[in-house]
Chains A and B, each alone.
Chain A
């Protein structure tokens, strides 16, 4: 099916199922229970999961296959967002033209930046990409304010032209749509004390993520992907055989730049605002973390890593002392205060700390990322009984960390 075979097909079907049922899977706790704090099944966060998934999948095509560590990929994310918002302002609130332009613009910039940066490899390449990204961030933040609206971020306004939408001035800000289907359209399903939110925007982004994931599988399995792997394992040897590797690495750079542009465009399509922070070096570092946390060079890893980091950023940062007191309300007062004091540094504003500890643990004990963890668990089960392994773990086992 679709040119996929065996375990690739299984992996793709598993990811598809995860995307389709995410609103249910991510909301396992009933509304009103004290664990509802951990529910992540609301549209904005689910959209972020899949969009940053696209970003990380694209980054993995460059970093995972060729080993070139770009430290400036957020620049393409930001470019995509700016391009998309400008399309919303000038042309139409339909997301299709916006996404096309954001992908193309990011691709063009990736071509130029990649052409220059790829003349060096290793740390010098990383520094070059970082320098370009910081330059673009500084430009967007202040110098180019007429185009980017600086610190405040580029937003829609009531008197934007929107040529294709008729151009008349609306009374409230228009919303992004796909041929009439509003991206923010949601339906809430009530099942007992559970609530599941089904959002149009999420499923649109989810489908694009599946397409991006499918393309990534095809690239990984193609001769082109093999060539990129060869670049990673020994570029000198390739050069000695008379093969020019630069077109291949440049192609990988542009492809991953376009993925980032698409992700940036989607972010703007879900929430029409483009801010310069999206291009800052911290954002570039984040996608590196996502990929390494999940497992660089694996198919599923980047998506898992993206999900985990966004989960921490949005869920753990919301746990304040009040929530902690509610959890430990049952234990005696003295104990309660002790427990709250112990947990306090790790939640709320301390979410960075928890994430950092976890990142260290993964890098030290699971150098291949979460996917390696899945593989190990899978192996454990297989030793006990041949059919006991979970589908996901088996799928992960297919692609051991590199």
Chain B
């Protein structure tokens, strides 16, 4: 076979090929000065959500929300929250007159795969913004990737303090609330409901999010309700069977069980805790209680009866009565036949906020978008909070009341919902009821709070 490769032949072929390839060479990125500048009359957004694995349900709901947001941006459907949004830059003609197209990918809830998927959206599909995610690990990983590649990352459901704490990035933004806010909102409600001086036993998912949530709840309950922590037991993620972790709770002298679990783990641990009869017990003269700090509709549906009367917190719920929430719930319900989850809400809002920021900046350049989302031109601040860091992009009408995208760490500050499992749900969708809308001032923290320190936004990166 080797006789077919003569030196002359190889050289000639190589020279011709090289000449042909080199002829029309130029760098696409240099034309615009930033990565993936939209060409022609369309702009591509990348929606990167878990479509397989433990959080696939959340991912599917996020995709529906993205689809709806794109429809509304392109002027199809009833416009949803575009009609209630305090900024009126979006008129249904896409973004800056360019029609919005999108690509989707499967993160499998794994940081590695999420990055590969986002990378292909950026490199192959020319996505200018990446959004989505149902877990903090992939969110942090993709946020870092977007920072390096020079595109904007609008985080989906990510609740860990680290996303806008020690792992925050200039190109990344989070609308969802975080573990600290959950603790601050739950503290007074739980103290009022269950009394001071209770003894809490924590079961905590053994990874970053579980730890930050556990620390946040422990700190909040310790300072507000003077609760004492009996023990914190770390459980492996995806354990399935939690009975061996729940049995020791019975003799620990604790009268509260805090489940720092999410998704399928939470459904299993809560169901098993109730089956063990924990909630029928009397300890230290109190009724034994269970708390699930982070709730979602999909988990509530999975846990069924077990969730009745159990407290937790949420970013948003479709039962809210403001015009924005109602408009969104209506258009989502009409299209898909059931109300949206809070994961869907945050993804929808993030897409709109990105589009609005581009419109205000007048460019897709990530640095312009960052400036717009930080509210550099028209800085706003929340009323009633006396703080130097209370400055950023202020908006309203997207379902959480007045909201601040804080410039200092790209975290949204807004009201937080304290929820409780409904005692008498009328349908599969109102298994949770709103106990209290905790005002922003109560969940406010400074960017240098010890639970968030160690990070650095760095500078915005336009790539290329």
The interface residues of chain B lying within 8 Å CB-to-CB of A149 are 208
A190 at the interface (CB under 8 A from B): yes
Question: Whose C-beta in chain A lies nearest to the C-beta of B25?
Answer: A189
> Which DSSP category, helix, strand, loop or mixed, fits chain A's interface?
helix
**A-facing residues in B122-181 (Cβ within 8 Å):** 123-125, 136-137, 140-141, 144-145, 147-148, 162, 167
Contact partner of A197 among B2, B123, B144, B461, CB < 8 A? B123
The reply to whether A273 and B124 form a contact with Cβ atoms under 8 Å apart is no
The interface residues of chain A lying within 8 Å CB-to-CB of B24 are 189-191
Interface segment, A125-133, A171-179, A206-214, A334-342?
A171-179
B193 at the interface (CB under 8 A from A): no
The reply to whether A273 and B111 form a contact with Cβ atoms under 8 Å apart is yes
Report the bound CA distance from A83 to B209 in whole Å: 24
Interface segment, B98-106, B248-256, B318-326, B355-363?
B98-106
Report the bound CA distance from A162 to B111 in whole Å: 24
The reply to whether B144 and A155 form a contact with Cβ atoms under 8 Å apart is yes
B110 at the interface (CB under 8 A from A): yes
Interface segment, A37-45, A60-68, A97-105?
A37-45
The reply to whether A275 and B208 form a contact with Cβ atoms under 8 Å apart is no
A333 at the interface (CB under 8 A from B): no
B51 at the interface (CB under 8 A from A): yes
B32 at the interface (CB under 8 A from A): no
The reply to whether B145 and A271 form a contact with Cβ atoms under 8 Å apart is yes
The interface residues of chain A lying within 8 Å CB-to-CB of B236 are 138, 142
Please tell me the number of chain A residues within 8 Å of chain B, measured between CB atoms: 57
A201 to chain B, nearest CB (A): 11
The reply to whether A320 and B52 form a contact with Cβ atoms under 8 Å apart is no
**A-facing residues in B387-445 (Cβ within 8 Å):** none
Which of under 10, 10 to 19, 20 to 34, or 35 or more describes the interface residues of B?
35 or more
Report the bound CA distance from A33 to B115 in whole Å: 26
The reply to whether A171 and B458 form a contact with Cβ atoms under 8 Å apart is yes
Interface centre among B1, B110, B234 (most CB of A within 10 A): B1
A241 at the interface (CB under 8 A from B): no
Report the bound CA distance from A351 to B55 in whole Å: 17
A55 to chain B, nearest CB (A): 13
The reply to whether B208 and A152 form a contact with Cβ atoms under 8 Å apart is yes
A278 at the interface (CB under 8 A from B): yes
B27 at the interface (CB under 8 A from A): yes
| A residues adjacent to B (C-beta < 8 A) | 1, 6-7, 9-10, 13, 21, 24, 39, 42-45, 48, 138, 141-142, 145, 149-153, 155-156, 158-159, 171-173, 175, 184, 187-191, 196-197, 271, 273, 275, 277-278, 313-314, 317-318, 320, 322, 348-349, 351-352, 391, 394-395
A-B CB proximity, top 4 nearest:
A349-B51, A151-B207, A44-B119, A10-B1
